[in-house]
Every structure is written in structure tokens, then in C-alpha cells.
Chain A
Amino acid sequence: MKKKRIWLGISLCLMLVAAGCGSNNNNSGAGASSAPAGTVGAAGTAAPDTKTYKIAVSQYVEHPSLDATYDGIIAALKDAGIEEGKNLKIDFENAQADQANNLSIAQKIASEKNDLVIGIATPPAQALVQAIKNDTPILFAAVTDPLDAKVVTNLEHPGGNVSGASDTNPEAITRLMDFIATQFPNVKKLGLIINEGEPNAVVMADKAKAALDKHGIELVKAPITNTSEVKQAAQSLVGRADALYITLDNSVVSGVDSIIQVANENKLPFFSSDRDTVEKGAVATVGFKYYDHGYQVGQMAVDVLKNGKKIGDLPVTVQQKLDVILNLKAAAAQGVEVTDAMKAAVTDQANDIIQ
């Protein structure tokens, strides 16, 4: 009886191996032997277009900002002539917000031969850096504080085989707070909906608080632990705050519709930290599109794959294109009178003032 059970277990596993290998004919026996990363076309000579590239991407969870990041990466590769289905093979994995799966995915990626590996969000970046022992280049995207996460030790010159892009430009938060302080003199208390369990949210909230202290504005926090609590937290700020603010907090951004609802009903101006939320119905932010952030990482990937640059020589980038983004429709819904001074703060008025 026991023997039979063990056979059952073994046969089950074999079935799966067959399923896995049958569709995976590129990594039989991959592992210990891995070509060094630096051999992708000598510097100065562009690699011929006949070369096929294989990259692996590990994303932490399905989420609008992270999905847009991935789309941006793919677009940048495509613009450089590296296109899926032609000369690019992408192995895209998503941990579905499960740390254990995140580790398994990192191991799987480490056991295969890739020209480049990309981690989107902090946990996958950390897991990949830990799991990949050879010199396969690793890029990270949407990591708020790469130094604190210890994925790199130096932002200017990372060395080693890791580099990437941070999705916060410290300036963005300070500029937004300055914008609120100068253009909204009635705001004395800014309400923040935050999940204190998210690394990026905590880092950003601290920066916002430091900037607000200079203007004598108080930051009132309403904590949540998951997306379902967002609306209640937003409602709890009505009467306690003159405006609402959120960081790049994954669980809060996922529930942003309910904040817009509360802001419109109670005529509270609502400020976000990403462009996508302003397009949805927040009044303003100083920021960028996650798609652009991904595109920047994609360009770094092209540098490594095609232009033969060493990844350790690429500095960690922060988001370059920063601008005030204003939504006029949201302003009307939230009882904000848009002044000329507000519009003047927007550099690229054609794109960044949303009618």
C-alpha cells in the first residue's frame, strides 16, 4: 500500500515534468554553465539583428502601475528592434502577491539561461538578486529605495550585475507639497490614506511629512491594511483634513476609485502620486506615467542587450520627466477653482492639463 502511494507520487511528478519539458525545449540541462553576460556583441559594434534574445521578467502582483511598467519595457525593446515573436523570447512570471511563489519564481529564473532578467517591484528584485549567483544581468523597475532594499550598494556606479530604475524622484514629492502649499492656501491639514505595510508608501510618506513641516501643514494619517478598507479610511478623513493625498501605495492605488468618490462628494481636493490616478479623477500630482518609467528601464535593457554595455556601469536612474499634471474635470468635481497660477506651474500644458 505504502509503496503504491509513493509510486503514485513519483508518477504524478513525472507527468508534470513531461508537461513542463514538452513545452520548454530551450533549457534542458541548463544551470551551472552560463555564458558570461558581457559577450553580447563587442562594444561599439551593434549586434546583428539575427540574434535572438531571451529575457525573464518577475512581477510581484497584478496592479495597474506595475502592468504599465511592463508594457513600457516591452515597448522600448520593440522600438529598438527587439520584438517578441521575432527575435525575443520572454518568460513572464507573476507571484500574485505571494512571497513563497516569489522565491520559487526567482529560483526558476536562476536555473535557466537568460540574456537579461528583470524584477518589477521590490520583493522580486530582492529575490532575483539573491537567487542568481552567476553574472546574468539583473534590472529592477518600480523599486522605491534600492539602497534600503540592498539590491545595489551604490546608485551612481552599481558595479556587479545589477542596476535599474527607482520609481520615486525625491523631488516629485517635495514639488507636489510646494504646489499644494502655494496654490491651496486653505489646506492646513493634508489627509493621507496609507498602508504602513508597504515599503514604498512609508518612504514616501516620510518625505512628504518633511516637506509639509516646512510649510506648517499637518499630515493626518488614515491607516489601512488592505484594499477593501480604503473607502472607510477616506471617509474617516472627512472633517479631519482639508485635502486628500496618497503615495504610490499599491493597496491604496488599487482602491482609488472609492477615494475619488469620497473626494467628489465632500468637495475635498485629492492629490495623488502618479499620473494614472490623475487621469482617473484626482486633481493634481507631480509625476510621470509608469509606462514612461518602464520605457526607461527598457532602454537600459537595450543598452545591455544590443549596445554591449556592462550593466554595472549603468547608474540607477530616477524618473526624469517630471511635471505638474492637472485634471480640470476633477478640479470642478472637487470644488477647486483652477487659477492661472496653477496652470502656469504646468510645463507641458498640451499633454499635462487634462480636460
Chain B
Amino acid sequence: MVDSLLGAVELGLLYAFMALGVYITFRILDFPDLTVDGSFTTGGAIAAVMIVHGYSPWLATLAALAGGMIAGLCTGLLHTKGKINGLLSGILMMIALYSINLRILGKPNVSVMGEDTLTSLVRPLYVMPVIVIIVKVLMDLFLRTDLGLALRATGDNSRMIRSFGVNTDNTTILGISLSNGLVALSGALIAQYSSFADASMGIGMIVIGLASVIIGEAIFGSGSVFRATLAAVLGSIVYRIVVALALRVDWLDASDLKLITALIVIVALVFPSIRRHYKQRNSARKRTAALAQQVMKSQKGGAADAKAR
């Protein structure tokens, strides 16, 4: 039990980069980017193929990051310069990447079993927290620079930031590119961790990414950028723990797995809003009571005061 929970934390940390990537597009740019399903596999494919060909896993992982950034760049160009609707440009890139990924892999499934990989050199559980925190802090710092602020403003109020002379096309392209770079990095690490890259490994990734971001926000809040990126990382871990636990519910059939995962996520999301609702009702009641008291006081006038003395 403890072992598989640790494993879930490990997986969550490896998927955390993807959650951060999805946070950039989904929350900062307000851009629903479906490229993720393709670029995740791109990262895994580049890393696996390079490792099999004898390159160092460090170089392979960096190349995967670059590959993901190029994929994001293409989506950004389609959307900004090609004036294609955001959702559609992501979808187009996603289906184009399916074929491109097969080209990169050369066959549908490339195994790196027995090769030296980043995750075989050292157990990810010990180093990943540090690396994830470093990446998260770097991202926080970047979002505080002028360029980062312009990026955030692009999602919030593009008209305003354009009036300040910022080219929102460029900030959009940069954001999507960064996001998919992080996603591909995640894919590269997962491919090394699971010892194979598969043409179907990215399918459903965007759902996991969104779930991670939203669960994180529901549980850990999203008041500031610092908090929101932390929430994305923790949300990714919580999501993997949820799946690990869903697998342990014995009286359910194997075919119920996705349903259970969905239900648990729904509970996590609905619970805070129910609590908020009751809180509001309580505070409303208190206020009504307080007001009523005041009214009573003012009606009784000074008599009550005199009694109190």
C-alpha cells in the first residue's frame, strides 16, 4: 500500500511538468490547447529514440523539451498568424503530431529497457521534488518579469496590453510553446520511467492535465501565481493518488476504473463549493441575527442601557 502510494507520488511528480504546462495555456493564456495529447507523445518518442541510438539521456530529454516547444510554436502560429480558432488549431496540431510521432518512433512502440535513462540512474522520488520545485520557482520568477507580466495580461485583457504596445501574437506563441515544452518534458520522463514510448501514450493527457490543475485549485487555492503553480504540481500528485486508490477498491470491476476516477475528482471539486455555500448561509444568518439585535436595541432605546448598568 505504502509502496504504491509512493509510486503514485513519483508518477505525480513526473506528470507535474505537464500540469504546469496545461496551467500556462489554460489559466494564464485562457487558451484551450489540445496539442498536449500529441506533444506529450512527441517528448516520449524523441527521448526514447535518442536513448536507443546511444545518446545521453540528458541530451535526449533536452531534445524532447525542444521538440515539444516546436510543436507548441506551430499551434501558436496556426492560431495567431493563420487566424484559426484556438480549439481547432490545437486539434489540428494534435492529429498532425500523431503521424509525426510515428515517423519519429519508426514503429508504434520503442522499448528502452536495459538502457541508461535518467530515471534508472537515480530513483525519481528522491530528486524529482527538488527539480519540480526549481522549475516551479523559475516559472514564478519568469511570470514576474515584464515579459511574464505581458504574457499574463494577454490572457486577462489582451486589448489593454496591446494598447501598451505589446505584441500579443508573440506572447501567445511564447506561452503555447513553453507549455508544450513542459508537456513534452513530462512525456520524455514518463517514457524513461516506464521504459517504453508508445504511439498512444499521450491519448487523454489533456484531461489528466486539466483535472490536475482544477483539483489543485480546488484543494490548495489559486490566489497568486505562486499558489496557483504550487496547486498545479500538488494537483497532479493528488490525481495520481486518486487513481492509485481507485485501483484498490476491491468490490468494483476493472471496467469501472475511469468512472471511479471521475467520481472522486467530482467529489473533490464539489465539496469546497458546498462548504462555501453553507458558510455563506451561516454568515448570512449571523448578520441577520446581528441586525435584528441592533433593531431591537434601537427600539428599546436607553432603557436597556440603564438595565445593564
Residues of chain A whose beta carbon lies under 8 Å from any beta carbon of chain B:
1-2, 5-6, 8-9, 12-13, 16-17, 19-21, 23-24, 27-32, 59, 62, 92-108, 110-112, 122-123, 126-127, 129-131, 148-151, 153, 196-199, 201-202, 225
Contact = CB atoms under 8 A, between A and B. Distances in A.
Given A93-B247, A149-B196, A199-B107, A107 B8 contact: yes
Contact of B3 (A1, A21, A111, A196): A111
B258 interface: yes
Interface in B244-278: 244-251, 254-255, 257-258, 264, 267-268, 271-272, 275
A6 B249 contact: no
Given A23-B250, A31-B2, A197-B108, A2 B199 contact: no
B257 A30 contact: no
A239 to B, nearest CB: 25
A112 B2 CA distance: 10
A21 B113 contact: no
A60 B238 CA distance: 23
Q: How large is the interface on B (under 10, 10 to 19, 20 to 34, 35 or more residues)?
A: 35 or more
B201 A99 contact: yes
Given A94-B255, A105-B247, A8 B111 contact: no
Given A29-B1, A93-B254, A122 B109 contact: yes
Contact of A5 (B95, B111, B221): B221
B241 interface: yes
Contact of A27 (B1, B107, B246, B255): B1
Interface of B: 1-4, 7-8, 11, 15, 95, 98, 102, 107-109, 111-114, 190, 193-196, 198-205, 208, 218-221, 238, 240-251, 254-255, 257-258, 264, 267-268, 271-272, 275
Given A97-B203, A99-B202, A111-B1, 12 more contacts: A12-B219, A13-B245, A17-B245, A20-B245, A24-B248, A98-B203, A110-B3, A148-B107, A149-B111, A197-B199, A197-B200, A198-B108
A100 B204 contact: yes
B102 A197 contact: yes
Residue of A9, A94, A102, A127 with highest tally of chain B CB at under 10 A = A9
A123 B98 CA distance: 18
9 contacts: A30-B1, A94-B255, A99-B201, A99-B202, A106-B194, A122-B109, A126-B196, A130-B194, A202-B108
